[in-house]
């Protein structure tokens, strides 16, 4: 932003402030505090600008102040400067111009990590693990992923020339140059759907950007029209939400036209609305299970909560996040925007699932979730008891697999990914991702790859606790009396990495198989492979096969 524009912004802000002060002088005393603080603010800036020892960075100073003001309210109210508008639009629409691939950093280079199906990177044959050497004949070695991402993105229809290095079976690298034509990339809300087992359909919904409702409607229609479907699983795990209208459209796939899905209530009357389904549903009879977890939030909670309130679906999994706040965007001068929390939303039973009251912060600024003892009971359409203020409680609780320390370390150190790249380099093809299983010889090779060639290291929880106890005891000058005992405990806990890899073999093998399937069949391959060993999906399948049990869960016991 130029100094002239900064000056214009500041003058504009002062005019607005003083106009507000002038107008509010005739308003009730409740506005006195506002005018007082605005007066302090403008005078403070004037003093800083006049007397501070160094020249002020006005843009930075104002943005820090604005950001701090927004952050003090809640995590969702946010100032979006002009430079960040494109990124914000991508988050809400799921669209951008580029080659269609995630990227990441490995050593001195940025690499391809996840090409998207049906977009330029995948169509040109780029693979996960390909190292980006040059973009348009300019080296990108030692550039960070943000810089490379900006160079790869651009207007749809324009070309970009990429030189990559690809791992070969013998461990060498082959350099390849490809020319890609950028396209408008629309990240799918529904990355996968299909019949998983015994006539049970499955739809994975990852987000609620534009067209989420249409994507779910099309997936559900295709499942029903092409297969004998005895039940449907809608997977909302890890779905952070998105557009409210798309939540209504998704719920509408399973609910009759004219049903209330959600209402919003704000301090300003214009922010209070009731939203109804507007179209005929795809189906209202087929047994439905909705998978949720603590990562399911906002629009995902509107869908799962409304389907629960109408007794249309069994909600299965873990308690959801608890975000019952609605944001809207307001235009600011110079193409900036303010995303502001304007209302709370309420699902058909009348409950608000917001778990944190940000208006009641402690003196240190911390907040806490609503206690279970303070929950208020509501009823579904069929009379089942449900509660407010804690997210969506599942009808049937499950516990997802927890990763062991060794599995977490393998993931964070990218060793699953790196071995999958190596496997692809030496294995031209695999049959499919549903039935792929790593051989014993391949798993032994993976163990050798990890233990002998990658300096793999990690600490167990017990080792971390002992290390923490050592630090605390040293700080409190209590270490000397217990150092021998601590050393003895630590020696007993020293783990054999190879033994740990074999002890957790089943879990590690599944995770590795998923990463290898992604090498050949991209994200769809990863999802298909994951489903085969997903305990919650298996629980949902068994539930939906038992229609009497489904009906029993959704009916009030007399």
- Burial code (b: 16+ CB inside 10 Å, e: under 16) for 327-342 equals beeeeeeeebbbbbbb
- Catalytic member of 74, 293, 309, 418: 309
How far, in Å, CA of 372 to CA of 388, rounded? Answer: 10
Please say if 439 is a catalytic residue. Answer: no
Rounded Cα gap, residues 48 and 53, in angstroms? 9
Catalytic residue among 101, 263, 296, 298: 298
Q: Are 308 and 396 in contact (CB under 8 A)?
A: no
Judge whether 323 counts as a catalytic residue. Answer: yes
- Residue from 133, 177, 124 nearest 151 by CA: 133
Give CA–CA dist 68/271, Å, rounded.
25
Concatenating the DSSP letter of every residue in 418-467 gives: HHHHHHHHH----S-SSS----HHHHHHHHHHHHHHS------HHHHHHH
How many contiguous H segments (helices) and E segments (strands) does the chain have?
Answer: 18, 21
Question: Which residue in 131, 188, 259, 323 is the catalytic one?
Answer: 323
How far apart CA 500 and CA 277 sit, in angstroms, is: 53
The residue count of the chain comes to: 558
CB 332 within 8 A of CB 325: no
Active site includes 496? Answer: no
- Classified as helix, coil or strand, 189 is coil
Cβ–Cβ < 8 Å for 369, 354: no
Residue 236, both tokens: 């909302």
The burial class, CB within 10 Å (0-12 / 13-18 / 19+), for 406 is buried
Closest CA to 498 of 463, 442, 446: 446
Q: Which residues are catalytic?
A: 298, 309, 323
């Amino acid at each position: 932003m130029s100094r002239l524009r900064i000056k214009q912004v500041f003058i504009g802000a002062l005019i607005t402030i003083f106009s507000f002060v002038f107008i509010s002088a005739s308003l009730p005393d409740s506005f006195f505090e506002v005018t007082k603080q605005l007066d302090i603010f403008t005078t403070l800036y004037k003093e800083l600008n006049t007397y501070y020892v160094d020249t002020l960075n006005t843009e930075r100073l104002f943005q820090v102040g604005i950001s701090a003001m927004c952050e003090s309210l809640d995590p969702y109210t946010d100032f979006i400067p002009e430079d960040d508008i494109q990124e914000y639009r991508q988050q809400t629409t799921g669209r951008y111009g580029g080659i269609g691939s995630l990227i990441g950093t490995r050593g001195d280079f940025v690499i391809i990590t996840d090409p998207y199906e049906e977009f330029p990177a995948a169509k040109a044959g780029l693979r996960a693990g390909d190292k980006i050497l040059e973009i348009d004949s300019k080296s990108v070695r030692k550039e960070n992923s943000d810089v490379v991402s900006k160079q790869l993105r651009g207007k749809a229809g324009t070309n970009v020339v990429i030189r990559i290095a690809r791992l070969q079976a013998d461990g060498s690298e082959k350099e390849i140059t490809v020319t890609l034509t950028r396209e408008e990339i629309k990240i799918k809300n529904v990355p996968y759907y299909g019949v998983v087992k015994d006539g049970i359909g499955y739809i994975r919904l990852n987000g609620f950007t534009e067209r989420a409702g249409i994507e779910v409607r099309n997936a559900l229609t295709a499942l029903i029209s092409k297969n004998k479907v005895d039940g449907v699983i809608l997977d909302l795990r890890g779905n952070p939400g998105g557009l409210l209208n798309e939540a209504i459209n998704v719920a509408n796939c399973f609910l009759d036209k004219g049903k209330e899905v959600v209402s919003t209530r704000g301090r300003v009357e214009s922010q209070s609305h009731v939203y109804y389904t507007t179209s005929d549903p795809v189906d209202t009879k087929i047994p439905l299970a909705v998978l949720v977890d603590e990562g399911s939030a906002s629009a995902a909670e509107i869908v799962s909560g409304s389907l629960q309130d109408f007794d249309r679906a069994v909600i299965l999994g873990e308690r959801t996040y608890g975000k019952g706040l609605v944001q809207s965007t307001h235009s600011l001068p110079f193409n900036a925007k303010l995303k502001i929390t304007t209302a709370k939303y309420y699902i058909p039973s009348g409950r608000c699932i917001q778990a944190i009251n940000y208006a009641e912060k402690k003196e240190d600024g911390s907040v806490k979730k609503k206690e279970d003892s303070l929950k208020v009971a509501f009823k579904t359409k069929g009379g089942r008891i449900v509660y407010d203020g804690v997210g969506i409680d599942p009808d049937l609780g499950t516990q997802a697999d927890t990763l062991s320390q060794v599995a977490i370390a393998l993931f964070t150190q990218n060793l699953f990914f790196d071995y999958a790249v190596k496997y692809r380099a030496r294995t031209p093809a695999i049959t499919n991702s549903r039935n792929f299983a790593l051989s014993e010889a391949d798993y032994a090779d993976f163990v050798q790859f990890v233990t002998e060639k990658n300096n793999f290291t990690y600490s167990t929880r017990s080792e971390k606790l002992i290390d923490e106890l050592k630090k605390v005891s040293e700080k409190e000058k209590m270490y000397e009396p217990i150092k021998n005992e601590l050393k003895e405990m630590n020696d007993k806990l020293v783990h054999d990495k190879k033994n740990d890899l074999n002890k957790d073999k089943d879990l590690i093998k599944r995770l590795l198989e998923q990463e290898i399937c992604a090498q050949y069949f991209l994200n769809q391959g990863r999802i298909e492979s994951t489903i085969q060993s997903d305990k919650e999906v298996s629980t949902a399948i068994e539930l939906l096969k038992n229609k009497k049990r489904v009906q029993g869960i959704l009916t009030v016991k007399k």
